Structure 1
């Protein structure tokens, strides 16, 4: 057994021991996510917990990043039923659900906040097609939501693909994200999040990508010197429930969960208004010498040109189902743009 699997088994055993007295009760539900309590996923989780507990006798126990292991660990625990809810990016679920990697096709999602929010709220792909794919993996997809425009942090300035030549950029363990950064001219380097800060300190890697709030809260600006917005993506995440758990609930409890999800979705979209700007202000205050750059349309053009090859790779990976997802997403995005 690998060391990660040993950890997962140990974490699962600890969880079962800690909550064994509550296992027979339906009113204590466990919810793990990939960020800290005061970051976007944590804020979403707290609103979800507030809604559940205000409208029922149920209790939600929250487990921020690291308390039950890495992303792969909490997904395994959710599939095993140890966790009732898990919030995880398609960047990590891409190994289970290859079609979810569509969110890493560069320049697919819009930058306009109203268009973006409309897409996530009304998308046929998200609300009708993806739930079937998640169900095949024992997961009930409750919602997907954006977390903020992705920025690339590097040690040297970055304004063109040539600037990324031989630069090792940390990526999630996601084949399409690897392909995206390869198309950008970089050397994509998959690493667990817990190794990123140290990897930048020791020059094992020279860059990484994340929304501004996460760059600020995790102090990535301490170990990289340049923050660049290339307009290539917005970080997407998803809330899921263990499907056996969800299907075994009463209609009343299922509706309770869906209502809490909708309230948390609305709350997190409102919460993110101005969040990028506030995070960048905090970074400037903490380390004024960090440069923050938005690439011009002309500078973005060579990066944007790579989208076609990444799309082709996505279809190679996922076949006809991936093509259907991509086509529907483009139709959903067009509808969001029309308002």
Structure 2
């Protein structure tokens, strides 16, 4: 993986030396994401590609998980201008953009799918505040969107924080997500995605969390068969462009990119509706060892009681930016729920 990053850096330096901007070479635009063929990020990427190619002379080359390395590699390549577009979860950008960790405050987002989709459509925090935060790191934020409710898989069903005691739960390389599972009573274990299946299979890990479609797509239920719906959050992702590349585009091409982003977003939000149910059905058809636990309101309350300490940690990590963002986030949620 380090080799890929070095190649990316070397290529960026070579382009800079020749005085050529990323936009000047962008007849073929490169776009990388973190998932497999047919998964949610790939659905978005393919819709984005289709719109661009149907409405311009540009081509979009899409790279899926592993083709250019892990999440950290594709972010580095995007910041260096090797990639023009990247789709990456705040779970991996949390260290780079601390405020993006807001999505890992447990029980902040509701579990109702339609409420969540409406929130992402209308939220001032999502659509006005986040682009400014990403811009500070050379990234043009095009879209943020939800992929699915998070589900915990483990070596046994989970009903209470006590059930997490001494369990090593894989988390993304995100400080606040580690804090969440520490609050829940588990031992958070950051690990790149490529190592998760094997670690679950060999007992290095006792469990992990992901949206149900990814648990099905990645075969995680084969080695971690006890699924628990805790209701604590949604997997969220962000589509970004290298800001220098984006700024160098003509006005027409900027509008093209924005229109493609909107078209891909609309298509993807239709795709995820009912996706969790379809994915769970596939899992249950594939394995008779799978158990499904949906926490009762009383059981959820035991976890919710631990959420304030994670929120407090978020505010410590993010300062005034985080405080303003969280206030707007909660107001946006209130506005949607009142509707």
TM-score (norm. length: structure 2)? 0.95
Q: Which residue of 1 aligns with 2:120?
A: 120
Q: Which residue of 1 aligns with 2:59?
A: 59
Provide the C-alpha distance between the structure 2 equivalents of 1:289 and 1:96, rounded to a whole number of angstroms: 39
Provide the C-alpha distance between the structure 2 equivalents of 1:112 and 1:312, rounded to a whole number of angstroms: 25
Checking the alignment, whether the CA contact within 8 Å between 1:16 and 1:82 is kept in structure 2 is no
Cα distance per residue 1:110-158 (max 9 Å; x no partner): 1111211111111111111111110110000001000000000001121
Alignment of 1:167 with 2:167, yes or no, is yes
Cα distance per residue 1:216-272 (max 9 Å; x no partner): 010001101200000000100000000000011111111111111011111111001
Using the TM superposition, give the Cα deviation of residue 16 of structure 1 relative to its aligned residue in structure 2, in angstroms.
9.9
SS of the aligned residue for 1:245 comes to helix
SS of the aligned residue for 1:228 comes to strand
Please list, as runs of the form range in 1=range in 2, the aligned pairs for 1:325-336 lying within 5 A after superposition. Answer: 325-336=325-336
Q: Which residue of 2 aligns with 1:196?
A: 196
Alignment of 1:5 with 2:31, yes or no, is no
SS of the aligned residue for 2:140 comes to strand
Q: Which residue of 2 aligns with 1:262?
A: 262
Gaps of 5+ in 1: none
Task: Give the count of matched residue pairs.
Answer: 334
Provide the C-alpha distance between the structure 1 equivalents of 2:78 and 2:269, rounded to a whole number of angstroms: 25
Checking the alignment, whether the CA contact within 8 Å between 1:164 and 1:186 is kept in structure 2 is yes
Alignment of 1:99 with 2:99, yes or no, is yes
Alignment of 1:249 with 2:274, yes or no, is no
What do you get for the CA RMSD once the two structures are aligned?
1.8
Checking the alignment, whether the CA contact within 8 Å between 1:151 and 1:229 is kept in structure 2 is yes
SS of the aligned residue for 2:103 comes to helix
Alignment of 1:236 with 2:236, yes or no, is yes
Q: Which residue of 2 aligns with 1:295?
A: 295
Q: Which residue of 1 aligns with 2:283?
A: 283
Using the TM superposition, give the Cα deviation of residue 11 of structure 1 relative to its aligned residue in structure 2, in angstroms.
5.3
Provide the C-alpha distance between the structure 2 equivalents of 1:317 and 1:260, rounded to a whole number of angstroms: 34
Checking the alignment, whether the CA contact within 8 Å between 2:109 and 2:233 is kept in structure 1 is yes
SS of the aligned residue for 2:114 comes to helix
Provide the C-alpha distance between the structure 2 equivalents of 1:25 and 1:81, rounded to a whole number of angstroms: 11
Checking the alignment, whether the CA contact within 8 Å between 1:11 and 1:68 is kept in structure 2 is no
SS of the aligned residue for 2:126 comes to helix
Q: Which residue of 1 aligns with 2:77?
A: 77
Provide the C-alpha distance between the structure 1 equivalents of 2:67 and 2:9, rounded to a whole number of angstroms: 12
SS of the aligned residue for 2:25 comes to coil
Q: Which residue of 2 aligns with 1:155?
A: 155
Provide the C-alpha distance between the structure 1 equivalents of 2:246 and 2:132, rounded to a whole number of angstroms: 14
Gaps of 5+ in 2: none
Q: 1:79 to 1:22 in 2, by over 3 A?
A: closer
Provide the C-alpha distance between the structure 2 equivalents of 1:25 and 1:151, rounded to a whole number of angstroms: 42
Checking the alignment, whether the CA contact within 8 Å between 1:97 and 1:134 is kept in structure 2 is yes
Cα distance per residue 1:302-330 (max 9 Å; x no partner): 11111111000000011111000000000
Checking the alignment, whether the CA contact within 8 Å between 1:78 and 1:86 is kept in structure 2 is yes
Provide the C-alpha distance between the structure 2 equivalents of 1:316 and 1:213, rounded to a whole number of angstroms: 33
Provide the C-alpha distance between the structure 1 equivalents of 2:193 and 2:123, rounded to a whole number of angstroms: 30
Provide the C-alpha distance between the structure 1 equivalents of 2:6 and 2:59, rounded to a whole number of angstroms: 25
Checking the alignment, whether the CA contact within 8 Å between 1:29 and 1:84 is kept in structure 2 is yes
